[in-house]
Amino acid sequence: MPYRLRIGGRDVAAEITARRPQLLLRIGEVRCALESARIAGDEFELTVDGVRYRGYWCAGADEVQVRLNGHTYRVERPRAALAATAAAADEELRASMPGVVVAVHCAVDQQLAAGDKLLTLESMKLQMTLLASHAARVRQVHVAPQAVFERGALLVSFARAGEEP
């Protein structure tokens, strides 16, 4: 199973092809032997095909930045879909416990992106702000500030993607 990287704007597939007697890899079209690798803190030292490389690196959310021989490389690794945890096309947002509405942050017909604020609710002396789990359009907001609701109450309805208003 190849690892997919993006470097210098190009998609590159990387694969381990053998481990003994040396770790052999294929990076894009290039085959190479990784003879030794030491990564400590923010510095690295590799020996690839007999050539030693020394430099610095750091990791961000989706990419690794490498400083090597006076050049900064940004190597992106596509991340596994986090959206899997969100149900696709949730059409209704229902209350998971009773409480009161503190603030409404969305409006009818508003096109939301994943992570946009919907409502701030208060339950059990705890306030929480509910966010849109995925892109959707608000079809209707069923509550107003200071409204008291029960568990299971319908709070917001969304239009399915592609649905006419």
State the nearest-atom distance from the C-beta of 43 to another protein, in Å. Answer: 9
6 close to 76: Cβ distance less than 8 angstroms: yes
Q: Which of 20, 124, 144, 162 binds another protein (CB under 8 A)?
A: 20
| Shortest distance in whole angstroms from residue 97 CB to another protein | 16
Task: Decide if 156 contacts 106 (C-beta within 8 A).
Answer: yes
Say how far apart CA 9 and CA 51 lie, in whole Å. 25
Taking residues 67 to 96 in sequence order and writing x for each that binds another protein by CB under 8 A, - otherwise, the string is: xxxxxxxxx-x--xx-xxx-xx--------
C-alpha to C-alpha distance for 157 and 147, rounded to whole angstroms: 17
Taking CB atoms within 8 Å and a gap of at least 24, the contacts of 13-16 are: none
Confirm or reject binding of residue 40 to another protein (CB under 8 A).
no
Distance CA 119, CA 96 (A): 13
- Rounded Cα–Cα distance for residues 107 and 144 (Å): 11
Amino acid at 140: Q
CB 35 → another protein: shortest distance, Å?
11
Nearer to another protein, 37 or 113 (CB): 37
Task: Supply the minimum distance, in Å, between the C-beta of residue 2 and another protein.
Answer: 8
Binding site for another protein (CB under 8 A): 1-3, 5, 7-10, 12, 14-20, 23, 25, 27-28, 30, 32, 34, 37, 39, 42, 44, 46, 48, 53, 55-60, 63-75, 77, 80-81, 83-85, 87-88
